Every structure is written in structure tokens, then in C-alpha cells.
Amino acid sequence: MTKDAGVQPDAAANAPEKRKLRSERWFGPADLRSFGHRSRAMQMGYDPEDWTGKPVIAILNTWSDINPCHMHFRQRAEDVKRGILEAGGFPLELPAISLSENFMKPTTMLYRNMLAMEAEELLRAYPVDGAVLMGGCDKTTPGLLLGATSMDIPAIYVPAGPMLRGNWHGKTLGSGADSWKYWDELRAGKITQEDWQGVEAGIARSAGTCMTMGTASTMTAIAEAIGLSLPGASSIPAVDSNHIRMAKSSGRRIVEMVWEDLKPSKIQTKPAFFNAIAVAMAMGCSTNAIIHVIAMARRAGVDIGLDDFDRASRSVPVIANVRPTGQTYLMEDFYYAGGIAALMNRISEFLTLTCLTVTGKTVGENIGNAEVYNDDVIRPLDKPMFTGKDGGALTVLRGNLAPDGCVMKPACCDPKFHKHSGPALVFDDYPSLKKAVEDETLDVTPDHVLVLRNAGPWVGLACRSGACCQSPKSLSSRGCATCCAFQTPA
């Protein structure tokens, strides 16, 4: 059979066998209920030929006017639709709750499972054959993936991508870390209020998630490492034209996945989650990764615990020189250096390369040709940022303060605090802590340990991000900003 030049066959034509689509339960039967479904679809201007025999693809879009991480998702949803239509599918955009880490109070962690339930029910309740999940801001990635895992229809994740580097007076600014740095400098009188306003205006300059290796970049990379995103997708800056092409390609691919019946349950195996943990360690991941990956794995029927992270941290070196674990670079630089695919290729000895991914190919096939273009950003294994002997990316600690275990990020901590004895200041709630750290008369030394109780994932604050990040003002005003902080759910 010959094909016209330049004409791409749709996914259905390429499918080895045409499956019965789930959406046909709504549109196919010659009964009164399906009459209602078809007539109401036609009420919206659709023709029966728009959906007949075609995979109906839900685009779960977490855009909102108050989520800067996802401010480009209105257009990206259109890019995804373009790919779905090209591949012979029928796209339907379904809005989902937008978890803006910046604006939601007291913490988005309270709403992660709410998004998971919403995602699951949107996919269950509507005539959907496959899903494109659009997210990026911290808790959005695990929320969407938890819901898609429960529903277990073909699904692909489109990450928001990091924002561009911040800039102020020619200095590169990183999300979060530089906010605290310059806040301490302002309180110490090292910069002026005008300087502070300049930092405020320059630290976030485009659509996209935080450009440091925080929770957002960690979780989107983990989604890719598990195999739920296209290769390289998680590293592309939000405003890069490659992000547009990635979104369209994801739209095309999900149609093919429906015909192939490639579901999350075929991808999210125990080795796939161990791959994700190894990648997280090599990146110098956020401590929040532990909370979310354990939940995601258990939702997929895979038992993973703290000890699995501890073992990986002791064996997999940190090779991503990306702040705050790294010293110099941000996610934009990481992308130019080769991104997650290149990092995975470099740590391939720690990965199971036979794991299946959304491409229909294995991890090994996906990353086989990935190259590192800057060895200072993605370090060679023999020249890492940190090794297991240094504590690795994360260290699991146990003791009287946390008998069931707690997590420390040694690479981001002054080494003198790796083994430390000192007086403690204990607070039972965040308002008390905040009031104390702003008190210039607070009796505190650089050797003090600040303990914030009732701040774990099972209690009211639910691991409030940044709750223990501020140095006491009485220290900052003396030009000293070091102090050990500890959060506990007890």
C-alpha cells in the first residue's frame, strides 16, 4: 500500500488491532441514555464523526489565574490538542484544581489528595479513553499521578517546566534559596529596601516552576524517571519552544497509547520506582520526594519505605550541580547540559534499563543516545558533588525526636551540623516560631537547634514548606545566619 507524500497515518491505522474503546459505552449503544450523550455532544457543536471510532482523550489542565507555575497551560493545552487531533483522537479539556504553592495557605499538602481524588473521578466519570495530565507545581505532580494510577487508563504526564533564571544587578537568582539569603541580608542591613524590591522583581521572570532543584523539579523528573513522561520532557524550560513541541508530541503519543492499551500499571513497577529513587538521589532532590514517592508507589501496589531511600542515598552520588544542593547552576543550565535523560545515562549502572515507559520503549532505549554537554553541571561519577560518604542527597535519621525516622538533606546543611550538640528552642506551632525568629531580643546562638513540633505530614501544617527556613533576626542583625532547624510531627 502506498501513502501520499507528507501525509502521516493516524494511530488507529498503525494499531495492530483495533480495541473497543471505553468511550463507546457512552456514545455507542442505540438506547435512550446514549441518545442523551450524543445529543448533548452535538449541542456543543460536535459532529458524531468527531468521536466515532476515535480515542477520547481527557486533558486534565491545572491552569489558573493565580498559579504562575502553570500560567502557560492555556496555550499548552491547545498544543496538546493539536497533537491529539493529528493522531486521530478527540480531545476534551477538563479543568482540575490548581495547587499554587505560592498562594495557597496554609499549605498545598492539605490538597494533594483532593487533587488525586478529583483526577481519578474526572477520568472515571466521563467518557475518557486516555489522559494527558498537565502539572508541575510541587504537589500537583503526585496528585495527578495518584489519581491516574487509581483509574489505570493510558496516561501521559506533561510537566510545566522550570522558569527562566532570576536576575538582579547581573547576579543570577534562584527560587527559594536566594529569597532567604537576601531576606537575611536585608535584616542584617547589608542591602537596602530598594535592593530588596529589586530582588523581588527579578527572582521570578517567566512562566514555570521554581528553577532550583526544589520539589517541583524533583517530582517532574521523578515522573520522567518512572517512565510517565516523554524522554527529556521534565527538563525543558516552560517558555522554550521545545516545550511546545513536547506538549504536541505528548498529545500524539497518548492516542497511540490508547490503541496499545499502555496503562500506568504496566509502567509503574517496583524497578521503575527504584529508578526514580536513584535519579532523585543523583539530582540532589527535595526531601518532599520521600513523602510523595512512597504514596505513589503504594497506590501502584509497590511497597517502598524510608530504608529504600537511605540505601540509594548511600550508593548513588549527587552529580547534578544544581542549587540548592549544587553550588552554581539552575534548571535552565541543567537543560542545556543534557537534562534528565543525560543524567540517567550517566548513572545507568544504578538503573534497571528494561523498564517500560510511555514511549512503548524501555528506559535503556530512551536514554541510550543522551549526552552530557557540560560536565560541570552534570558531573562524571568520579567527580560528584557529594557521595554516600558525605551523607548523599538525603539521610534518614532515627532517634528520640523521631523514633520512626526523619530526613535530613546533608548537602544543603553546614557540615558542622551533621553531628551537633547544642541547646534547643522548641515551638509547638508555626506562629510561635515566626514570632520568635522576628524578635530581635531572642536569646539564641548559632549553636541553637530550633525544633518545630506538630509540623509533619499527618498534622495540621502538613509539612509546610519553608516553615523552619528563617534565621532568627537576632542572629541576622549580628551578621550570623547559621542555626540548625528541625521539624517533627510529634
- Report the CATH number at residue 282: 3.40.50
In angstroms, the Cα distances linking 90 to 29, 51, 80, 428 are: 19, 6, 11, 52
pLDDT at position 349, please? 98
Q: What is the mean pLDDT of the chain?
A: 91
Q: What is the pLDDT of residues 157-202, one digit of tens each?
A: 999 999 999 999 999 999 988 998 899 899 889 999 999 999 999 9
**Of 271, 302, 333, the domain-final residue:** 302
Residues 139 and 19 grouped into a single domain:
yes
Mean pLDDT of 294-311: 97
- Domain end position, chosen among 279, 302, 325: 302
- What's the domain count of the chain? 2
The more confidently predicted of residues 397 and 64 is: 64
pLDDT in tens, 379-390: 999 999 999 888
User: Is the separation of the CB atoms in 351 and 344 below 8 Å?
Assistant: yes
Strand pairing partners for 487?
452
CA distance 116 to 136: 14
- Which amino acid is residue 330, in one-letter code? L
Whole-angstrom distance, CA of residue 356 vs CA of residue 227: 7
The answer to whether 347 and 316 have CB atoms below 8 angstroms apart is yes
| Shared domain check, 252 and 125 | yes
* Residue 436 clears pLDDT 70, i.e. is over it: yes
Q: How many residues does the chain have?
A: 490
pLDDT, residue 479, reads: 62
Mean pLDDT computed over 442-451: 87
Is residue 374 included in any domain, yes or no?
no
Q: State residue 239 phi and psi, 5-degree precision.
A: -100, 5
- The closest alpha carbon to 132, from 100, 158, 152, belongs to 158
85 in a structural domain: yes
Q: Is the domain of 293 the same as that of 417?
A: no
Residues 474-481, mean pLDDT to the nearest whole number:
69
Q: Classify 159 as helix, strand or coil.
A: strand
Q: Is residue 41 part of a domain?
A: yes
Domain housing 435: 413-490
* CA 356, chain centre distance (Å): 20
- Backbone phi, then psi, for 398, in 5-degree steps? -135, 145
* Alpha helices, H only, 188-305: 193-202, 215-226, 241-260, 264-267, 270-283, 288-299
Query: Could you tell me the pLDDT band of residue 411, with boundaries at 50, 70 and 90?
Result: confident
Distance CA 382, CA 362 (A): 26
Write the Ramachandran bin of 206: left for phi over 0, alpha for psi from -120 to 50, otherwise beta: beta
pLDDT class of 1 with cuts at 50, 70, 90 = very low
Q: Tell me if 279 is assigned to some domain.
A: yes
DSSP bridge pairs for 60: 94, 133
Residue 327 domain-assigned (yes or no): no
How far is Cα 195 from Cα 182, in angstroms, rounded to an integer?
9
Pick from 240, 172, 169, 243: nearest CA to 212: 172
Domain membership of residue 427 (yes or no) is yes
What is this structure's pTM? 0.92
Among residues 238, 272, 302, which one ends one of the domains?
302
Q: Contact at 8 Å (CB) between 209 and 137? A: yes
Stretch 423-448: mean pLDDT: 87
Q: Which run of H or of E encompasses 94?
A: strand 90-95
Q: Tell me which amino acid residue 195 is.
A: D
Q: Give the residue-averaged pLDDT of 233-237.
A: 98
The answer to whether residue 359 scores a pLDDT higher than 60 is yes
pLDDT recorded at residue 8: 43
What pLDDT shows up at residue 90?
Answer: 99
pLDDT at 171: 95
d(CA 212, CA 165): 9
Could you say which DSSP state residue 318 is in?
B
Given this model, what pLDDT does residue 149 score?
Answer: 99
